[in-house]
């Protein structure tokens, strides 16, 4: 049986939505009687499912998927309340064309906006932007519907035997689908997969808008895709180290086969851990590791590929040059070295004979530590597992030579000290 990470491979992330969408379009006439019989449920189901996507996205480290669901929900409301009359009506056709233009643009825009939380000022700004777009569309529809009819006849070519959507907008939506599909294959990011699925099904809705209840069906399918992918993300998050709350060795084992050949792996470890234990206590290392994990998780570019395995921090960079990765690791070393890491004292329970006397409460201590890093960049003949092993090995060799607070790079099996 195929494992989950095989089912989540880059090729299937691209092919599976295309295949299911094509099957939906081909088989849709067969399901039309069923959809008509449960029309009320079918119309309301997208609100329920997209709302569930928004709620689940609030629990994710990055909330872009929730914003995508919000944009899709607004688009569905526009379709439901303003596009239920004939497209022969000029006002309706103008709103239809505006929606088919603005929705792909908004989806692409969300790909380049970093929104850490769903409940934030970013949400208010996004909703305000969407409301402004709707107001502009309503204004254009009210004042320029006559001019649009003339402009449509001259510039917008619509082949009604194919679709009610003008040909130029069909090409535009298909181009957006291809672009987002390429991003979903190239980058292993949840936001790219969600934008690809949403743009694909939105394009299907616009092209086959003459089908009854096509918008409800496409948006239901879109929400189901998003829910499945979010469920898989929650499944991945269950593989967490209890101390640092970073992904553990099980998550790393799943991630390594999915990595592209164009990757760089860095392994970070605390310098002089034995001296820290001797001076304080064994729990001190755990407190420092938790503090370092908090610093690393603040770096947004590290969050998708950050692991804690065998008392070491592993950072994976995709599609980055090793010089760029080295600069990032140097910044992390500086941030970790300049931070005062708090060590909690070991609390000893007082003996029964000490209850009459006042027991002095131990104080927390704050110390500074440094970290060293081993790095390795992959070539076309190396797997990610081999690259990781080389990064660990070059750091181990440097530790044997009692070197510290440096970046050690293994390239082509030659160890280089930076």
Note whether 203 and 281 are same-domain residues: no
How, if at all, do strands 407-411 and 371-377 pair?
A: parallel
Note whether 133 and 253 are same-domain residues: no
Is residue 178 one of the residues assigned to a domain? yes
Is residue 351 one of the residues assigned to a domain? no
Domain end residue (candidates: 237, 257, 272): 237
Note whether 141 and 287 are same-domain residues: no
CA angle at 256 for the pair 250 and 257, rounded to the nearest 5°: 110
Query: For the chain, what is the mean pLDDT?
Result: 80
Top pLDDT among 262 and 360 is at: 262
Note whether 170 and 253 are same-domain residues: no
Residue with the two structure tokens 């003339």 = 150
pLDDT of residue 5: 45
pLDDT of 238 strictly over 60? yes
Top pLDDT among 236 and 255 is at: 255
Is residue 243 one of the residues assigned to a domain? no
Note whether 35 and 178 are same-domain residues: yes
pLDDT of 244 strictly over 70? yes
pLDDT of residue 118: 67
User: What are the structure tokens assigned to 348, written together?
Assistant: 């000893």
Note whether 120 and 76 are same-domain residues: yes
Helix (H) or strand (E) holding 368: none
pLDDT of 104 strictly over 90? yes
Domain end residue (candidates: 237, 266, 289): 237
The predicted model gives 325-330 an average pLDDT of 88
**E strands within 201-330?**
263-270, 306-309, 312-318
Top pLDDT among 62 and 388 is at: 388
Residue 182 CA to residue 193 CA, distance in Å, equals 10
Domain that holds residue 278: 249-345+363-417
CA angle at 387 for the pair 381 and 392, rounded to the nearest 5°: 155
Note whether 401 and 265 are same-domain residues: yes
pLDDT of residue 353: 57
Which of 25-29, 79-83, 203-207, 340-344 has the least mean pLDDT? 340-344
The predicted model gives 61-88 an average pLDDT of 84
pLDDT of residue 59: 60
Q: What are phi and psi of 314, to 5 degrees?
A: -120, 125
Domain end residue (candidates: 188, 203, 237): 237
How many distinct structural domains can be found in the chain?
2
Confidence category of residue 155, pLDDT binned at 50, 70, 90: low
Confidence category of residue 8, pLDDT binned at 50, 70, 90: low
Residues 89, 90, 94, 97: what is their CA dihedral angle, to the nearest 10 degrees?
60
User: What are the structure tokens assigned to 338, written together?
Assistant: 């300049």
User: What are the structure tokens assigned to 412, written together?
Assistant: 């082509």
pLDDT of residue 416: 45
Is residue 183 one of the residues assigned to a domain? yes
pLDDT of residue 110: 85
pLDDT of 390 strictly over 50? yes
How, if at all, do strands 312-318 and 263-270 pair?
A: antiparallel
- Identify whether the C-beta of residue 17 lies closer than 8 Å to the C-beta of residue 8: no
């Amino acid at each position: 049986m195929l494992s989950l990470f095989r089912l989540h491979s880059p090729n299937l992330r691209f092919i599976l939505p295309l295949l299911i969408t094509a099957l939906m379009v081909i088989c849709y006439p067969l399901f039309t009687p069923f959809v008509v019989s449960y029309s009320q449920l079918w119309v309301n189901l997208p609100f329920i499912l997209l709302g569930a996507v928004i709620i689940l996205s609030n629990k994710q480290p990055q909330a872009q998927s929730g914003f995508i669901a919000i944009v899709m929900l607004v688009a569905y409301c526009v379709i439901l309340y303003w596009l239920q009359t004939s497209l022969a009506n000029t006002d309706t056709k103008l709103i239809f064309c505006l929606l088919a233009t603005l929705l792909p643009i908004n989806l692409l825009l969300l790909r380049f906006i970093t929104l850490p939380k769903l409940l934030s000022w970013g949400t208010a700004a996004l909703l305000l932007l969407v409301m402004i777009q709707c107001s502009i569309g309503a204004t254009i529809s009210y004042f320029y519907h006559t001019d649009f009819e003339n402009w449509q006849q001259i510039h917008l070519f619509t082949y009604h035997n194919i679709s009610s959507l003008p040909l130029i907008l069909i090409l535009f939506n298909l181009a957006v689908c291809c672009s987002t599909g390429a991003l979903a294959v190239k980058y292993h990011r949840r936001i790219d997969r969600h934008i690809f699925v949403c743009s694909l099904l939105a394009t299907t809705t616009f092209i086959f808008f003459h089908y009854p209840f096509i918008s409800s069906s496409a948006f239901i399918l879109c929400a189901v895709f998003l829910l499945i992918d979010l469920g898989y993300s929650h499944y991945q998050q269950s593989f967490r180290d209890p101390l640092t709350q970073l992904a553990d060795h099980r998550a790393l084992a799943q991630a390594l086969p999915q990595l592209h050949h164009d990757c760089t792996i860095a392994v970070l470890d605390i310098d002089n851990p034995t001296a820290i234990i001797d001076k304080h206590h064994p729990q001190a290392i755990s407190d420092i590791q938790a503090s370092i994990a908090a610093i690393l998780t603040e770096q947004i570019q590290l969050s998708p590929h950050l692991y804690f395995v065998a008392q070491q921090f592993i950072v994976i960079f995709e599609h980055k040059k090793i010089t760029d990765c080295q600069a990032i690791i140097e910044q992390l070393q500086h941030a970790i070295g300049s931070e005062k890491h708090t060590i909690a004292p070991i609390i000893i329970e007082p003996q029964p004979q000490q209850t009459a006397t006042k027991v002095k409460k131990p104080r927390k201590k704050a110390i500074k530590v440094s970290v060293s890093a081993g790095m390795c960049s992959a070539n076309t003949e190396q797997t990610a597992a081999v690259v990781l092993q080389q990064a660990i090995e070059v750091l181990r060799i440097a530790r044997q030579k009692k070197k510290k607070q440096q970046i050690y790079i293994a390239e082509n099996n030659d160890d280089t000290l930076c």
